[in-house]
Structure 1
Amino acid sequence: MQKTHIRHQLYLLRFPLVLILAILWNTRSAQAQTVLNMEEHDAKPYYFGITLAANNSYFKLLHDAVFLHQDSIMVVEPLKTFGFNLGLLGNVRLSEYFDLRLNPQLSFASKNLYYRENFPTRETTKNIESILLQFPLQIKFKSDRIDNMRVYVIAGLKYDYDLASNARARRAEDLVKIKAGDYGYEAGAGFEFYFPSFIFSPEFKISNGLSNMQVKDKNLRYSNVIQSLKSRMIVFSIHLEG
Structure 2
Amino acid sequence: MKRIVLILVLLFGYQQTQAQLFTKEKIRNLENFDKARLSWGYYLGFNSYDFKFDYKDHPSEDVLVDKSMGFNVGLVGNLRINDYFDIRLEPGVVFASRNLTYPELTEDNFREVKSTYVHIPLLLKFSTKRINNFKPFIVGGVSTSFNLSSNQDNPDDNSSGEFRMMKNTYYYEVGFGIDLYLMFFKFTPSIRGVFALNDELKRDVDPNSAYTGNIDKMSTRGIFINFTFQ
Q: TM bucket by the smaller chain?
A: 0.7 to 0.9
Structure 1 position 148 matched with structure 2 position 140: no
Answer yes or no: is the 8 Å Cα contact 1:116–1:123 preserved in 2.
no
Matches within 5 A, 1:71-150: 75-117=62-104, 121-122=106-107, 124-150=109-135
| Superposed displacement of residue 75, structure 1 | 4.7
1:189 is matched with 176
| CA shift in 2, pair 1:36/1:164, >3 Å | same
Greater Rg by CA? 2
Q: Which moves more between the two structures, 94-103 or 209-218?
A: 209-218
Q: Which residue of 1 aligns with 2:220?
A: 231
* Inter-CA distance 111–60: structure 2 relative to 1 (3 Å threshold): same
Residue 43 (structure 1) aligns with: 35
Structure 2: distance between partners of 1:74 and 1:193: 46
Indicate if the aligned counterparts of 1:75 and 1:114 stay in contact, CA closer than 8 A: no
| 1:176-205 Cα deviation digits (max 9, x unpaired) | 221000111000000011011101100011
**Alignment check: 8 A CA contact 1:61 1:78 kept:** no
Secondary structure class of the residue paired with 1:42: helix
- The answer for unaligned runs of 5 or more in structure 1 is 1-24
Q: Does the residue aligned with 1:221 lie in a helix, a strand or coil?
A: coil
User: Cα gap change, 1:110/1:33 in structure 2, threshold over 3 Å: closer, same or farther?
Assistant: same
Residue aligned with 1:127, SS: strand
Partner of 1:55: 47
Post-superposition offset of 1:238: 0.3
After TM superposition, give the deviation of residue 32 of structure 1 in Å. 4.6
- What is the number of equivalent residue pairs in this alignment? 210
Contact 1:175–1:222 (CA<8 Å) still a contact in 2?
no
Structure 2 gaps, min length 5? 1-15
Give the direction of change, closer, same or farther, for the CA distance of 1:74–1:43 in structure 2 (3 Å limit): closer
State which of 212, 220, 229 in structure 1 corresponds to 2:199: 212
How far apart, in 2, do the equivalents of 1:213 and 1:180 lie? Answer: 8
Contact kept? 2:64, 2:103, Cα under 8 Å: no
Q: Residue 175 of structure 1: SS of its match in structure 2? A: coil
CA contact (8 A) 1:27 1:146 kept: no
- TM-score using structure 1 length: 0.80
Q: TM-score, normalising length from structure 2? A: 0.84
User: How many percent of aligned residue pairs carry the same amino acid?
Assistant: 28
Alignment deviations for residues 155-193 of structure 1 (CA, whole Å, 9 cap, x no partner): 100001100001111335133221000111000000011
Structure 1 CA distance for aligned equivalents of residues 181 and 200 of structure 2: 40
Q: Secondary structure of the equivalent of 1:39? A: coil
Kindly tell me: are residues 27 and 46 of structure 1, through their superposed partners in 2, closer, same or farther at Cα, counting changes over 3 Å?
Answer: farther
Q: Tell me, yes or no, if structure 1 residue 33 matches structure 2 residue 18.
A: no
Q: Following the alignment from structure 1 to structure 2, what is the Cα–Cα distance between the partners of residues 206 and 74?
A: 26
Distance in 2, matches of 1:116 and 1:123, equals 10
Q: 1:41 to 1:213 in 2, by over 3 A?
A: same
